[in-house]
């Protein structure tokens, strides 16, 4: 880094007021980018499965589009995490969103020439936007205190709501626009996605200066130098157990992702088989995505105040209810489908934010972005597996079976967090005995 950059970073370390202003500014920048990012990710969720179904003429592979862009997001999560670790959040997040926009453009061309190969290849690249949209939530936590972390994640996700809810509800509008310029209607949402992802990348490139991760890292190094020996020993004792915290946070997010993606992926196809049009699909998916992000401000505060464990249990129970309602809902009932998918989104929200907070609690700034990127790879692979298997389950059984299985799977969250909570109590007792 140049002398000017070092002096700039030092000025934020020396001034708590200046650091706090940058923290609030970073939350605003992340929120602004998430509005565009949310609109971009909604395209693949809403019409990806239907587009593949029309091209291939079978339900068995209709889960593959979700699997492809979530698989693509796995590789992108690793790349964005590594780029952010080396060059800062600004470079990593900008690159990820721009690449995602290029993937959306590829999907548009695949629909024009009716190429299933180009569709799947483009969806892999489009997944970079999904991964980046998810990793952007970490940028708000870099300068947050322990009691602000879940709230910081939740604020980023609240802003995602505006784009994520608007996206599915613009399916018809973008479909008509696509037809007016000679493009298949189902490619219309991907026109919106391309523009939205590229704009999200430009927001980070232009506005995220100075980089919050670089400042957090430099601040952590300085604080470590100032620690006394006993404080350093205590920190080392706590850090020796951080791997367990990482494992628990990752497990929570992976399980919630599998359940959410598998049920969500097949809902548009299920609705199509029972006479619902794109407008109705857009309403249900819009309600689902709204429930994924809109409650975030409240859930983040609750997680910081009530605790990670209690809210993770609430996530498992909510996902179970979602699976039960989806399994028992009459196929022609919009009300029950909206309720089921809303509960599904809320359960995912609780799991993602509580899991993210546990991850941030367990990781030092020096390795934060790299570890977060690696964990998001697991989340993306979990989503890809859920998306791919969901179509096969429905083709060989039913949507009700898929929903019920997902709900039951979510119950694993409860023993996982209880085990972690019990282990945390034992660790604190051991540390107290030492000192």
What confidence score (pLDDT) does residue 433 get? 45
Task: Name which of 368, 406, 367 is nearest 389 in CA terms.
Answer: 406
Tokens 């972390």 — which residue?
149
**How would you class 102 by CB atoms within 10 Å of its CB: exposed for 0-12, middle for 13-18, buried for 19 or more?**
middle
SS3 354: helix
Q: Are 309 and 417 in contact (CB under 8 A)?
A: yes
Q: Using the 8-state DSSP alphabet, how is residue 59 labeled?
A: S
- From residue 280, how far is each of 80, 204, 329, 333 by CA, in Å? 35, 34, 15, 11
What confidence score (pLDDT) does residue 62 get? 62
pTM over 0.85: no
Per-residue pLDDT averaged across 278-294, rounded?
A: 83
| Tens-digit pLDDT profile for residues 179-212 | 999 998 888 889 999 999 999 999 999 999 888 8
| Tens-digit pLDDT profile for residues 120-165 | 899 999 989 988 988 888 888 888 887 888 888 888 888 877 777 7
What confidence score (pLDDT) does residue 216 get? 85
- From residue 307, how far is each of 134, 230, 346, 411, 424 by CA, in Å? 22, 28, 17, 19, 13
Q: In angstroms, how far apart are the furthest CA atoms of the chain?
A: 73
- Pair of tokens at residue 229: 């020996």
Task: Name which of 305, 301, 312, 310 is nearest 252 in CA terms.
Answer: 312
What confidence score (pLDDT) does residue 354 get? 92
Q: Are 248 and 417 in contact (CB under 8 A)?
A: yes
- Pair of tokens at residue 77: 């999560």
| Tens-digit pLDDT profile for residues 210-250 | 888 888 888 777 766 665 444 454 444 444 446 778 888 89
| Tens-digit pLDDT profile for residues 33-72 | 988 988 887 766 667 777 877 777 766 666 677 678 778 8
Which helix (H) or strand (E) segment holds residue 113: the answer is helix 89-113
Domains of the chain: 14-219+236-434 (1.20.1250.20)
Task: Name which of 154, 179, 152, 188 is nearest 43 in CA terms.
Answer: 188
């Amino acid at each position: 880094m140049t002398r000017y950059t070092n002096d700039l970073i030092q000025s934020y370390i020396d001034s708590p007021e200046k650091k706090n202003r940058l923290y609030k500014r970073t939350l605003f920048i992340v929120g602004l980018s998430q509005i565009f990012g949310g609109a971009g990710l909604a395209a693949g969720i809403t019409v990806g499965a239907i587009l593949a179904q029309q091209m291939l003429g079978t339900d068995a592979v209709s889960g593959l589009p979700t699997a492809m862009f979530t698989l693509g997001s796995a590789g992108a999560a690793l790349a964005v995490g590594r780029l952010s670790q080396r060059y800062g959040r600004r470079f990593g997040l900008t690159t990820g969103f721009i690449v995602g926009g290029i993937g959306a453009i590829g999907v548009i061309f695949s629909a024009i020439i009716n190429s299933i190969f180009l569709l799947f290849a483009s969806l892999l690249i489009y997944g970079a936007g999904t991964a980046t949209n998810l990793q952007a939530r970490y940028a708000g936590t870099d300068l947050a205190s322990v009691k602000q972390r879940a709230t910081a994640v939740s604020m980023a996700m609240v802003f995602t709501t505006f784009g994520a809810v608007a996206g599915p509800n613009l399916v018809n509008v973008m479909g008509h626009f696509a037809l007016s310029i000679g493009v298949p209607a189902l490619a219309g949402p991907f026109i919106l996605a391309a523009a939205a992802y590229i704009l999200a990348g430009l927001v980070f490139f232009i506005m995220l200066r100075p980089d919050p991760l670089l400042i957090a890292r430099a601040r952590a190094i300085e604080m470590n130098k100032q620690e006394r020996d006993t404080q350093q020993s205590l920190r080392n004792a706590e850090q020796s157990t951080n791997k367990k915290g990482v494992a628990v946070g990752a497990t929570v997010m992976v399980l919630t992702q599998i359940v959410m993606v598998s049920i969500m992926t097949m809902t548009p196809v299920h609705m199509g088989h029972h006479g619902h049009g794109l407008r109705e699909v857009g309403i249900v998916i819009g309600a689902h995505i709204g429930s994924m992000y809109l409650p975030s401000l409240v859930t983040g505060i609750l997680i910081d105040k009530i605790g990670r464990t209690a809210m993770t249990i609430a996530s498992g129970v909510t996902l179970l209810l979602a699976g039960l309602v989806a399994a028992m809902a009459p196929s022609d009932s919009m009300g029950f489908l909206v309720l089921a998918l809303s509960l599904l989104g809320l359960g995912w929200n609780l799991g993602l934010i509580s899991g993210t907070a546990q991850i941030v609690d367990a990781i030092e700034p020096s390795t934060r972005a790299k570890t977060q990127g690696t964990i998001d790879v697991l989340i993306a692979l979990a989503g890809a597996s859920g998306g791919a298997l969901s179509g096969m389950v429905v083709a060989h059984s039913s949507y009700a079976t898929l929903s019920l299985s997902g709900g039951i799977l979510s119950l694993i969250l409860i023993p996982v967090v209880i085990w972690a909570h019990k282990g945390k109590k034992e660790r604190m007792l051991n540390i107290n005995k030492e000192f």
